[in-house]
Amino acid sequence: MKVAAIMDNPVAGAEEMEEKLIKVLLVESDRRFTRYLQESLSGLTSSRVDLFSSENLEEAISCLRENTLDAALLDLDLSDSEGISTFARFHEAAPGLPTVILTGSDHQAVALEAVRQGAQDYLVNSKVDGKILSRVIRYAIEGKQNEMKLVAANRDLLKTNHDLARSEETLRRALEELRASHEQLKAAQLQLIQAEKLECVGTLAAGVAHEVKNPLQTILMGLAFLSRNAPAEDKDFFMVLGDMRDAVKRADAIVRDLLYLSAAKQMEMKEDDINAVIAHSLCFVNYDLTRSRVRVVCDLAKNLPTVRLDRPKMDQVFINLFMNAIHAMPTGGELHLRTRLARWPEGNPGDATATKRFEAGDPIVLIEIEDTGTGIPAEKLSRIFEPFFTTKPSGVGTGLGLPVSKQIVDLHGGTIQIGPGSRRGARVTLTLKVEQE
Amino acid sequence: MKKKRILLVDDEVGFTRLLKLNLEQAANYEVRVENWAERALNAAREFRPDLVLLDVIMPCMVGTDVAARFKADANLKSTPILYLSAVGARRSPEGHNGMVDDFSCIAKPASFEDLIDGIERNLPAERHTSFGGNSISHPAPDSATSLRG
């Protein structure tokens, strides 16, 4: 049913709507009330309205499908639907259509619920006339338009938010990658500096060694002469000679370690049994072990695969590490030596270069050297591979033992790490690659 | 008892003077010093040493070149040489085969006892004699050292 009516325009400023023909669907089961509304609307002169009328919900929904409408007036009590479900079904069919509820005064609570669910407004039947109806319809249209704009803006906002979150995530990942590569760069730079330092020291050492060792030799010969010709009763004389001899030994030790640095790069690799290398190296420190009352506790795995190594240089590494352990236990203790076959673990243990050498699952021979000595203070752990850095008292260490050891292990493609022992003391962990067949 | 003759060829004047003094005072050696490598051959021809203590790094001529001249000389080719090297690493793990060419090498700085030990080990067997006076302790076999670098 279609009725043409003219609607008054009570909305100030809604100029574009004055000229526009407004298409309104009235869903009302009471024909008399429908007629009353038609008449009320036709009594107005300022605006035109196309009024479509339906008596039940089914008819109304088919009308929605056939026409493009601007608003709807919906009675909730129809022949085929009652109460709030009428609005729910109608709204489902036309969610974007501004809908005003028409209700009897005793249904106000239901009408309010409909407004909560999306209706623009509600009118109490008894108080409706053309002017009110016209105004409410216009408000409803305006309101719905604003609501739709709001929904669209909200949708845009949500999308922007989503995009922002994604950008943030991308940014966070980029930052993480940046941080990681910065760390890697720092580590690489540190290693480069370390390597350069060693290179410099090595080059210098080769040149200086000859010039230092010759005078030391002359001093030793002088000491031999003086010892023989010393007055037998003068104890101070012999003490002085002893101190001088010790000083020569120290100077010689430093030059010797410096020379190792310069010579470490020439490697002669052969397949060898790491347990045999350890046993061989132990022979060199036997005297020092006994003198310092250090007990050696071995837990060496049997049937370990061979590893490619330069025997004299690995001997040197082990002697350095054993001597460090002995120096850390001046009043005696235990030196634990363990070997076993293992696999390079997941994640990133060890220094940055270790990850380049090993992949997770690579077979490795793991060597642990643990003492029960004084240990290394945590703040010094990061510096122990620096040339000339020593935790030992003056005259005991040259500060080159660990840099030399690390250089040798690096040249073997292995890793060396030092940390606290299981109870006290320090633990050195060496890993060497097992060649896979 | 005939003294063993040692020709000491080394450019370090202080060292050669002191070693000569020690060897002659403390042990039964007769020592001739030559500080110029290129004069070593002539000195040896005159002196007829039982052993040559020969520095490796010397100006003008290195020890191994001096040794080559000795080997080429009919009268000196069987004279044992004990090298002294200031570029060696003493008591290194590699120390068991401290050889330069076919001769043993002692790394500087070496104690007087180590030098005596080296000399005694390298003298021809029939010339071995014990010497009285000072007792010389023989250090562990690993005191023989290698030439490195």
Q: Which value, to the nearest 10 degrees, does the dihedral of the CA atoms of residues A189, A191, A197, A198 take? A: -160
Q: What is the DSSP letter of A26?
A: E
Rounded to an integer, what distance in angstroms lies between the CA atom of residue B111 and that of residue A224?
8
In a 3-state reduction of DSSP, which class is residue A205? helix
Reported as type and span, the H/E element at residue A157 is helix A130-229
**B136 contacts chain A (CB < 8 A):** no
Q: What is the arrangement of strands in the sheet containing A426-433, beginning at the earlier edge strand?
A: A294-300, A333-343, A363-371, A426-433, A415-420
Residues 229 through 288 of chain A touching chain B, CB cutoff 8 Å = 248, 252, 256, 259-260, 262-263, 281, 284
Q: pLDDT at position B147, please?
A: 35
3-state secondary structure B85-131: ECCCECCCCCHHHCEECCEEEEECCCCHHHHHHHHHHHCCHHHCCCC
Q: Is residue A201 packed enough to be buried (19+ CB in 10 Å), middle (13-18) or exposed (0-12)?
A: buried
DSSP string, A27-69: E-S-HHHHHHHHHHHHT--SEEEEEEEESSHHHHHHHHHHS--
Question: Choosing among B13, B108, B114, B136, which should be mutated to test the A contact, i.e. which has the most A CBs within 10 A?
Answer: B108
Length of chain B: 149
Contacts of A3 (CB under 8 A, 6+ apart): A38, A42, A51, A53
Tokens of A180: 């990681």
| Residues in chain A closer than 8 A to B25 (CB atoms) | 225, 228
C-beta separation of B132 from B27 below 8 A: no
Q: What is the pLDDT of residue A339?
A: 95
pLDDT of B88 reads: 55
Q: How far is A370 from chain B (nearest CA, A)?
A: 22
Cα radius of gyration (chain A): 47
Residue pair A90/A72 in contact by the 8 Å Cβ criterion: yes
> Per residue in B62-114, pLDDT tens?
888 999 999 999 999 999 999 998 865 444 433 333 566 678 888 888 999 99
> CB–CB of B93 and A210 under 8 A?
no
What is the structure's pLDDT at A40? 81
- For CA atoms A128, A134, A140, A146, give the dihedral sign: negative
So what's the pLDDT on residue B92? 40
Query: Which segments in chain A show pLDDT lower than 70?
Result: 1-19, 45-47, 105-106, 194-195, 197-199, 201-203, 206-207, 261-266, 347-356, 388, 391-398, 437
Residue type, B136: I
Distance CA B18, CA A435 (A): 54
* Tokens read off for A334: 């235990």
Closest approach of A215 to chain B, Cα-based (Å): 8
Among the partner-chain residues B15, B87, B93, the one whose CB lies closest to the CB of A210 is B87
What gap in Å lies between CA A352 and CA B137, rounded to an integer?
A: 51
What number is the ipTM of this complex?
Answer: 0.76
Which residue type does B54 have?
L
- A213 and B18 within 8 Å at the Cβ level: the answer is no
Instruction: Give the strand order in the sheet containing A121-124.
Output: A2-7, A47-54, A22-27, A71-75, A99-103, A121-124
Interchain contact B19–A (C-beta under 8 A): yes
Note whether A210 contacts B12, CB cutoff 8 Å. no
Closest-CA distance of chain B to residue A378, Å: 32
- Does the distance separating the beta carbons of A225 and B109 come in below 8 Å? no
User: Best mutation site among A204, A210, A212, A213 for testing chain B: the one with the most B CBs within 10 Å?
Assistant: A213
pLDDT confidence of residue A350: 56
pLDDT at residue B40, rounded to an integer: 95
Query: Do the Cβ atoms of B88 and B147 come closer than 8 Å?
Result: yes
A26/A412 Cα distance (integer angstroms) = 91
In chain B, which among 73-132 make CB contacts under 8 A with chain A? 84, 86-87, 89-90, 92-94, 107-112
pTM for the complete prediction? 0.47
Give dist(CA A231, CA B89) in Å, integer.
34
Residue A96's contacts (CB-CB under 8 Å, 6 or more residues apart) are: A144, A148
Q: What pLDDT sits at residue A162?
A: 92
Q: How many pairs of residues across A and B have Cβ atoms under 8 Å apart?
A: 81
pLDDT digits (tens, 9 = 90+) for B5-45: 999 999 999 999 999 999 999 888 999 999 999 999 999 99
**Which structure tokens are listed for B43?**
């000195």
Closest Cα in chain A, distance from residue B117 (Å): 15
> Which string of b and e fits A137-165 if b means at least 16 CB within 10 Å?
bbbbbbebeeeeeeeeeeeeeeeeeeeee
